[in-house]
Amino acid sequence: MSDDLKQELLRRLDAIEKRIDALESGQHTLKQAYARSRAHLRRLWLRPPMWTFEQHAPYPLQLGRLPSPPPLPQRPPRIAIVTPSFNHARFLRATVDSVLAQDYPNLFYHVQDGGSTDDTANILESYGDRISWRSVRDEGQADAINRGFADADCDVMAYLNSDDTLLPGTLAIVANHFAERNDVDILYGHRIFIDYAGSEVGRAVLPAHNSQALKFAGYVPQETMFWRRRVWDKIGPLNTDFHYALDWDFMLRAEAAGFKMVHIRRFLACFRVHDDQKTSKDYERGRAEMQALRLRSLGQIPGQRQIFRAMAPYLIRQFIMHWSYRLGLIRQ
């Protein structure tokens, strides 16, 4: 055998060995990826669904599964909605459109902007007299909401952040429930998670309200919450000392004052998940605010194990409700 032929065979053998090594390496990588995926799925399955925002790949919002809204009551209550806004032009039109599309006959809708430098003013001007709005510097979200409600003459109140949206028929559902249940002061419902582009990425189906669990965690979807004016008149406006937990503070003060809060089994709004929601600084501030609220409600700051034990009965019910809905065993 010639030297040239030997060299060619050696080169081919070397190439084959490298391909085998690559295949083995790829197989190892696939095994690692598979193991990571299994671990991720286990975490996703065990984590409370109401706090798992991205539950599946994005797909168009599925409204066909939602039941039709009821007809309006004979005398629809006056509903006031305020949207606090600051440099959210990319989401604002979807928010405003979701409110106006309710076609609710007795609505006061106001956007309180904090002096945005993006295209917010042009968007708001494009609605003409269909909405009320003001753009002026404020002291944060709670202050903006309080300013927005300053001139509101209404029976029912709510605020909708400038990146969230109402679902079709929500105001009719709310109006009917308040008309039928005079004993109810605050109501909220299920939520849908949407991504930056407005595609659906998950849902949170909640069980009945649990006042004790609320003292340990602010689990109520704020964008779905509506309350009677008498709540606001008695406990006062949102506390401007809170930046992150202002809604939880409001709920706790309302329940402490004796107002009745209930959950209704209807999807009412969409919560948008995007990168600009909370920074690490916001998280640390939020954690401090949540601990302050637990101290006020419970007289102590509980540890994580104590919080989990207190929340466990509610979380188990939420887990069962969520998967019963996902598997088609119940409709909401």
Domain boundaries, the chain: 66-326
pTM of structure: 0.85
Mean pLDDT across the chain = 89
- Residue pair 116/85 in contact (Cβ under 8 Å)? The answer is yes
| Residue 93 clears pLDDT 60, i.e. is over it | yes
| Residue 203 clears pLDDT 60, i.e. is over it | yes
Which pLDDT score is estimated for 37?
43
Task: With cut-offs at 50, 70 and 90, classify the pLDDT of residue 25.
Answer: low
| Residue 32 clears pLDDT 90, i.e. is over it | no
Mean pLDDT across 6-24: 56
Residue with tokens 């066909």: 64
Residue percentage of the chain with pLDDT more than 70:
85
Residue percentage of the chain with pLDDT more than 90:
77
Mean pLDDT across 307-313: 95
Task: With cut-offs at 50, 70 and 90, classify the pLDDT of residue 143.
Answer: very high
Which pLDDT score is estimated for 284?
85
| Residue 19 clears pLDDT 90, i.e. is over it | no
| Residue 281 clears pLDDT 70, i.e. is over it | no
Question: 186-194 and 261-272: which strand pairing?
Answer: parallel
- Residue pair 185/228 in contact (Cβ under 8 Å)? The answer is yes
Characterize 109-143 residue by residue with b for buried, 16 or more Cβ atoms within 10 angstroms of its Cβ, and e for exposed.
Answer: bbbbbbebeeebeebbeebeeebbbbbeebebbbb
Residue whose C-alpha is closest to residue 193's, from 56, 303, 319, 35: 56
Which pLDDT score is estimated for 296?
96
Which pLDDT score is estimated for 275?
79
Cα dihedral 168, 174, 177, 179 in deg (nearest 10): -120
More confident residue, 157 or 51: 157
CB neighbours of residue 59 within 10 Å? 9
Q: Under CATH, which architecture does the 66-326 domain have?
A: Alpha-Beta Complex (3.90)
Mean pLDDT across 214-221: 97
Mean pLDDT across 285-296: 95
| Residue 38 clears pLDDT 80, i.e. is over it | no
5-14, 63-72, 214-223, 267-276: least confidently modelled range: 5-14
Sequence-distant (6+) residues with CB within 8 A of 321 are 205, 206, 207, 330
